[in-house]
Structure 1
Amino acid sequence: MAAWGLLAAWTLHDAEELATMAGWARAHKAELAERFPWIPQHVWELDQRHVTVAIGLMGGLVAAAAASGPKSGLYRAAVASFGVHGVIHLAQAAAMRGYTPGALTAPLVVIPYSVWAWRRLEDRRLPAWSWLLLPVALGGVHAAAHALTKPRERWF
């Protein structure tokens, strides 16, 4: 049951991101570009189609982790990554000195679920590759969403 709780907690959290991310990024693009000039400008250009596709793809990954069960390294890595993801949301909100997408459910859902699920694990060892899961998953789903939603060139 705890394993499917990962998918439930993720769904609640990502519903917030789905509802707020594209609009928030659009409204704060100039401020983000000014505060973080080393980040390429196109990173802040998130339209709703991109956000929706990226969240859908991540949902598939989270469902696979939940289905793998609490004895699997994938599930343990996903729980740990989900908790880190929640802390990152809080750091983002602190850096922006205000609300950022995901900051509401991070302390109410993400972090509490992650701590609860982690404590229930019999085996708390993380696979060696687990530190790569969060950045590779986030980067991968956003790269795939970009490829799937970018305007296509016409052949005729």
Structure 2
Amino acid sequence: MKNSSGDEAVGGAVTLGLLAAWALHDLEELATVPGWWRRNLPALRERYPGMPEAVWRRAGSVNGREFAVAVGAMAAVVASASVAGRLTGGRSATYQTALHAFGLHGLVHLAQAGLVRGYTPGVATSPLIVVPFTLWARHRLRRAGVLRATRPRDLAVGLGFAGAATVGAHAVARRLTKA
């Protein structure tokens, strides 16, 4: 199916699929993050003594309720980006940035597992869902002629987007769960 500009149309599987893939991935994180931190924080502190104490305190203070609220806040970000992608046939810069962020997020999970030399929350679904979905969606966007050229700067923006959204989601969660 072609759109009005003659490009192949990008459907909901590509755009709204970002939200679905993200939800599947975050189900793993919801199920594992709080318990994983409780079990692994002492060993991580010992293995990485140069890490600032504030990082360890913050990591150890996130409870399951706060993490679930942060995931909900992130859901709003990903849903908004996915809808923007759907409404623009995949052309939305916000959608494409979120897609890059999602794929890079999966690679970060793989790197974390390598540093820890074992399981970390999110690493099981990263090679099964996150990275393959991102590559497939990018392929579909490219084939439809709507994928923006991806430069190193775009990847940095994607990582920045993911980082800012994560910090924002956790700030919202902290505020809501302390009220």
Give the TM-score of the pair, scaled to structure 1.
Answer: 0.90
Aligned length: 151
> Which blocks of at least 5 consecutive residues in structure 1 are unaligned?
none
Taking the aligned partners of 1:36 and 1:68, their CA distance within structure 2 comes to: 41
Q: Is the 8 A contact 2:66 2:174 kept in 1?
A: yes
Match of 1:101 in 2: 121
Which consecutive aligned stretches of 4+ in structure 1 deviate over 4 angstroms post-superposition? 126-131
Query: Aligned partners of 1:9, 1:143: CA distance in 2, in Å?
Result: 24
**Partners of 2:109 and 2:122 within 8 A in 1:** yes
Distance 2:82 2:65 in 1: 26
Q: SS of 1:11's equivalent? A: helix
Q: Kindly state the Cα deviation for residue 143 of structure 1 after the two structures are TM-superposed.
A: 1.7
Q: Deviations over 1:31-53 (max 9, x none)?
A: 22223342422222221011100
The one of 104, 108, 112 equivalent to 1:84 is 104
Distance 1:102 1:131 in 2: 17
Per-residue deviation, residues 106-126 of structure 1 (Å, max 9, x unmatched): 000000000111111122246
Gap regions ≥5 residues in structure 2: 1-11
Quick one: structure 1 residues 132 and 6, their matched pair in 2 at CA, closer, same or farther if it must change by over 3 Å? same
* 2:76 pairs with 1:60: yes
Match of 1:12 among 24, 30, 33: 24
The residue type paired with residue 67 of structure 2 is V
Secondary structure in 2 matching 1:49: helix
| Cα deviations by residue, 1:92-142 (Å, 9 ceiling, x for unpaired) | 111111100000000000000001111111222469654521110111111
Flag the 1:131–1:97 CA change in 2: closer, same or farther, 3 A. Answer: closer
Find the partner of 1:119 among 139, 144, 154. 139
> Which shows bigger deviation, 24-33 or 129-138?
129-138
Partner of 1:34: 46
CA contact 1:86–1:110 (8 Å) conserved in 2: yes
Q: Structure 2 counterpart of 1:74, which letter?
A: T
| TM-score, with structure 2 as normaliser | 0.79
Q: Computing the radius of gyration over CA atoms, which structure comes out larger, 1 or 2?
A: 2
Q: Contact between 1:21 and 1:101, CA under 8 Å: does it hold in 2?
A: yes
